[in-house]
Structure 1
Amino acid sequence: MKVNMPNEKEIKSEIDFIVTQGLGKRESFYSCLKNMYRQIGIRYLFRDELEIIFTILLVSSILFSVIIDRNIYFSENIKAIYAYLFTVSPILYLSMSILNLIIAKQNKTYEVEMTCKYNIYQISAFRMLVFSIICILFNSFFVYAATCFYEDINYLKAFVISIASLFLFSTIFLFALAKVKNRSIKYFITLGWIGFNLILFILKVDFYIQLLNKVSIYTWTIVAIGSLIIYVKNLKTLIVFRNMEGII
């Protein structure tokens, strides 16, 4: 009995068919987020809503206390408010983003959640996108409150600076989360941004304050838009990146 063996073209065609049927169509970033929302539900995506609300209130009270008390810092140099906004704008985002990872570690559900259809990092990517929207709204109100206490502040410039700082940090944070394997380096990169800017702000480094003030609003806008694009791109990477070591 003679069996006709398939040629290379037929073999390749059959392999491609099997792979296509087995893997299925790759989801887009938007489709993945939409399906995640439909299949999991907002209740379980944000099951720690009380902790999130508490975090927002705690961070808000700390940040606003510095703005309200005029005698703490800004009486000598009103332009230092821009440096303050640049420094503290990402703090709320950082606090909310790592909250879920910390809770998962404490509840010892981290390993289980990593084996689910949507693992903890994919869910975190969805949450981070929502957190970034919350932080934009928070920053707009926070900057408005600052302009009420200090009339010399340009609201539009202050708001753009805060948004640029938010997405610059968010981009660095996601890069450390997805690309850096060493845990100590992750800590250094994540906390180093805020720590470095905070030290410069507290020490009243004139060069630092002047630099933030001399950069035009157009440049800050370009920085904000550019970092936003990279941030969304990194979120896409986090969505599809499954084999990741823990950040904490």
Structure 2
Amino acid sequence: MKSHRNNRIRSSAPSTFDDIDYPDEREIRLHVASIVEKALPVRPSFPAYIGGMYRQLGFRHLFRDLTEIVFVLLLGLGILVFMALFMLENANADSLYAFIFIVSPLLYLAVSLIFFADLRRRDTYQVEMACRYNVYQLASLRMLTFSAVCLVLNAGFVCWIALTSGQVDLLRGLLLSASSLFAFAAAFLYGMLRGRTAAGRYATVGLWPLLNAGLWIAEPHGYRVLLSGVPIYAYLGLLLLGAAIYVGQARELIHFRPKLS
């Protein structure tokens, strides 16, 4: 009797599950997309990321060692001018092109080594790596700034050589200098990012002057003729390729995490 009455009560109770208005497949997808968008915001583009980092940190924090950087740039530029004065007295146009190609990356090399040399040995390295913008993310903006500054200084240097010597074609000299700078800068960052040892990371530092100077000494005529005889559009292509690779390497610095050694 009692079980019969319980069965009647259950049968008369409303079915709550049947009254639920389930979302269709389209609504489910929209809700899932909304949740994912809020939980995983769209990663900003590289220019937007760099611009946001600069606005939040400011020039002073990004370049706290500005005095040291300016000193190294002026010292390096002075050494290049001194070397150029010797070249202008004892070299022809082909030799001047070779000289421009070899020395154009040296200013960039000098200021970049200030930042990268013994980076992990700094007392504040671990603290800086735990900050919102770690040292390698700061490096992405610094490297782009260094290359832009060195590009301008090299352009002025080449213009001075062209006006003083009267033997150097200005357009060829500028393209030669810029392509050399970005080719070296791309190789330099590649070594910094992928070198497993200190020797591997800094291999390109020594290889660039040694390789070019070695070719110049071993086959001076052929080396000079090669640099002065390459079509201008080839240097333009090398410049664009080197700049693209360099920007790509600088972009990788944002997500770079060095392997502990």
Instruction: Tell me the TM-score normalised to structure 1 length.
Output: 0.85
* Paired AA for residue 67 in structure 1: A
1:154 aligns with 2:166: no
Deviation at 1:31, TM superposition (A): 1.1
In the TM superposition, residue 106 of structure 1 has moved relative to its aligned partner by: 5.4
> Deviation at 1:76?
4.6
Higher mean C-alpha deviation, range 225-234 or range 197-206: 197-206
Structure 2, unaligned stretches of length 5 or more?
1-16, 18-25
Q: CA deviation at 1:242?
A: 3.0
The correspondence of residues 153-192 of structure 1 with structure 2, limited to 5 A, is 153-192=168-207
Q: Measure, in 2, the Cα distance between the counterparts of 1:114 and 1:153.
A: 47
Counterpart of 1:69 in 2: which secondary structure? Answer: helix
Distance, in Å, in 2 between the alignment partners of 1:57 and 1:37 is 25
Hey, what's the Cα distance between the residues in 1 that align with 2:129 and 2:165?
A: 48
Identity, % of aligned positions? 33
One-letter identity of the residue aligned with 2:152: L
Given that residues 97 and 124 in structure 1 are in contact (C-alpha distance below 8 angstroms), is that contact kept between their aligned partners in structure 2?
no
Task: State whether structure 2 residue 261 is matched by structure 1 residue 244.
Answer: no
> The residue matched to 1:224 in structure 2 has which SS?
helix
- Alpha-carbon distance change, 245 to 87 in structure 1, aligned in 2, over 3 angstroms: farther
Instruction: Name the residue aligned to 1:63.
Output: 80
Whether the aligned pair in 2 keeps the contact of 1:68 and 1:149 (CA below 8 Å) is no
CA drift at 1:98: 2.3
Q: Deviations over 1:142-198 (max 9, x none)?
A: 001111321111111011000000011111112112233233222213321232113
> Which aligned segments of 4 or more residues in structure 1 are displaced greater than 6 angstroms?
9-16
Superposition pairs of residues 182-221 of structure 1, within 5 angstroms: 182-201=197-216, 205-221=220-236
What amino acid does structure 1 have at the position aligned with 2:64? R
Count of aligned pairs between the two proteins: 244
Match of 1:25 in 2: 42
Question: What 5-or-longer segments of structure 1 have no aligned partner?
Answer: 4-8
Greater shift after overlay, 192-201 or 15-24? 15-24
List aligned pairs for 1:2-81, cutoff 5 A: 20-70=37-87, 75-81=90-96
Please say if residues 172 and 189 of structure 1, whose CA atoms lie closer than 8 Å, have aligned partners that are also in contact. Answer: yes
For the pair 1:101 / 2:116, whether they are aligned, the reply is yes
**Alignment of 1:232 onto 2:243:** no
After TM superposition, give the deviation of residue 21 of structure 1 in Å. 3.1
Q: 1:132 aligns with which of 137, 142, 147?
A: 147
3-state SS of 1:41 partner: helix
8 A Cα contact 2:140 2:250, kept in partner: yes
Q: Which residue of 2 aligns with 1:6?
A: none
Name the structure 2 match of 1:121.
136
Counterpart residue type for residue 25 of structure 1: V
- AA of the residue aligned to 1:171: A
**Cα contact 2:191–2:203 (8 A) shared by 1:** no
Give the superposed CA RMSD: 2.9
Question: Is contact 1:67-1:149 (8 Å) kept?
Answer: no
Q: Whole-Å Cα distance in 1 between the matches of residues 41 and 222 of structure 2?
A: 55
Summarize the Cα distance change of 1:158–1:37 in structure 2 as closer, same or farther, 3 Å threshold.
same
C-alpha contact 2:73 2:107 (8 A) present in aligned 1: yes
Residue range with higher mean Cα deviation, 10-19 or 103-112: 10-19
Say which one has the larger Rg. 2
Task: Measure the CA separation in 1 of the matches of 2:101 and 2:211.
Answer: 12
Amino acid at match of 1:79: D
The secondary structure found in structure 1 opposite 2:168 is coil
Range moving further from structure 2, 183-192 or 61-70: 183-192
Deviates more, 1:208-217 or 1:176-185: 176-185
- Tell me what 2:10 maps to: none
